Structures are given as C-alpha cells and as structure tokens.
Chains A and B, each alone.
Chain A
Amino acid sequence: MLALKLCEAFRQASMKVDVTFDSAIFSVEAVKKACYRFLDRFTSDIELCDSKIVCHLNFDDKFTGSSCDAQVEGFKKEVLDQDLRLTLKAETEQIRNLILAHAFSKTGLIADE
C-alpha cells in the first residue's frame, strides 16, 4: 500500500509543460526534430490546434521545476536551430546532390540513368 502511494506520488511529481509554436512561423518537421533531440529528457505529444503547434512535454522524473524551465528554454532554441537547418537544406539540397554525384561519378557506385 505504501509502495503504491509512493508510486502515485512520483507519478504526480513528474512535470508536464505545454509549449506552443505558431505554425505560420515554424514547421511541424522542425518541432518534431527538436523533440527527438530531447527524447532523453521528455516525451512529447504534438498536436495541431488551429494555427498553433502545441507540444505537451512529459518530463522524466529526474527533472523538477527549475531544471524543467531550463530544458524548455533549450527546447525552444533547438526548434529555432532545426528551423534554420531546414532553410539551409532547402537551399543546398540540389547542389549537395550534384556534388555527391560529381564526386562519385567514376566510382561505379551511381547507377546509370
């Protein structure tokens, strides 16, 4: 019984935080990539509500109030970074493929079209 109560107390102690992003500014892909990076710290339920991307973050038990705040700040920065990476990818993907094709054009690793 005591063990059950302790277990319940721990369950209640695990932190839950909602973080919202504007879908006109950030893509779902950027948010998902950021969530993957933080998988060792929290799991995330992502949902689209109107023009908002809402992330329900469920922190591991080891995180408490202040450490959660720091993680949320880090998460927001990571979303920004992921957004920037997508911008970079969109601009450079074509030349990246050309460079790789050029680099390996005589290796036989690229099948003839």
Chain B
Amino acid sequence: MNEFHQIASYKPRSSDYQLLPFRFTELNDDSYVVTNLAGEYLVLPKHVVPKLITHQLSAGEPAYTELRARHFLTDQATTTASDLLAIKTRTRYERLANFTSLHMFVVTLRCEHSCQYCQVSRQSDNKQQFDMSLADADAALGLALRSPSPYIKIEFQGGEPLLNSDLIRHIVIEAERRKLVFSSGASQ
C-alpha cells in the first residue's frame, strides 16, 4: 500500500531558494530596508537579512512569502520570478530606452507679472538681452530632434514666453519644416 510522505517532506528546505539581486541598508537599530531593481522594497527585522543571504531562512517564516512575492528570492513555487523581475525592471527603466521626450525652451526671462509664488529671476519687459537667440533656438531644436524617442514634447517657458512670441512661432514652423508633427495638445 502506498503512503504519503510526512508533511515536512513537502515543505521546501530552507536552502532550496535562490537569491535574486537586491540591496539592503540599515533603517534603524532594529530594521533593514531591502530594495531591488524593480523598486520593490521591504522592511525586515535585522536578524532576517543574514539568515536570508546565508540560506538559513525557513519557508515558514513570515518574511519568506513577502520576499518571494516581491522578487527577492525564487524557489520551486516561482519559476517565473526572474522573468517577472526583468519585466518590472524594464518598465521601471523604460525612460532610458528613448531617453527624454520632454524638452523645455526658455525663450525669455522677461515677464510683466510679479506672481508671489514664482521662483524665476524675472527680467523687466524691456530687457531683450534676456531672450533666447534665433541661433540658440535652432541649435536647441536640433538637439531635441536627436532624441531617440518616437514622440517629443516641447514646452515653452520663461519668464512670460509669449513676450518672445516671434521666436516661438519660428520654432514651431521650423519644427514642422523638419517633419515634426505638432498638435495643439501637450505631448504626442
């Protein structure tokens, strides 16, 4: 007659897990915070981290399931953990692939307002030496268009950017000339 093994034999042994990459640092006298590539984190009692790294952490300990769920370790129950971690990592660092899509053009520092909350060192209305030059605008546009991102967003800032509306008009026309499709909305 066949018999089942004792229940203990079905539980993973403490060393039956593989560590996934993570970092840890002291949070306070009692705890470490552990973080990984995907930005997951856990706060653990201090004694847990050495046990985890030296493969002494038992599957029955409260932290074990959390560590597995957040991709700090993998075992037979989580064969897709490294794939999931890679997907989360890719999502988290997605911006690196296309570099930045946002380009801010500060077309002038002049402003005719005095808003209390504004942090800009504004210049008075008549100081046109604080306007972006045509040559700088063309060079900046060239730089923005080198972005590998399939879509870019150009923001006009200041000062009050409309005080240099001629330059804004030039940048828009020039960008269109370079086959960049603009819309009235913010990003594309």
- Which A positions have Cβ atoms within 8 angstroms of B? 81, 84-85, 87-88, 91-93, 95-96, 98-100, 102-104, 107-109
Contacts and interface: CB of A to CB of B under 8 A. Distances in A.
B33 interface: no
Contacts of B54: 87
A103 B97 CA distance: 10
A99 B82 contact: yes
A95 B97 contact: no
Contacts of B85: 99
Grouping DSSP codes into helix (H, G, I), strand (E, B) and loop, the A interface class, with mixed when no group exceeds half, is: helix
Nearest to B37: A99
Interface residues of B, number: 24
Given A103-B93, A107-B96, A88 B86 contact: no
A91 B89 contact: no
6 contacts: A84-B53, A92-B21, A99-B89, A102-B82, A103-B90, A107-B97
A87 B56 CA distance: 14
A91 B24 contact: no
A73 to B, nearest CB: 12
A84 B97 CA distance: 33
Contact of A92 (B20, B26, B87): B20
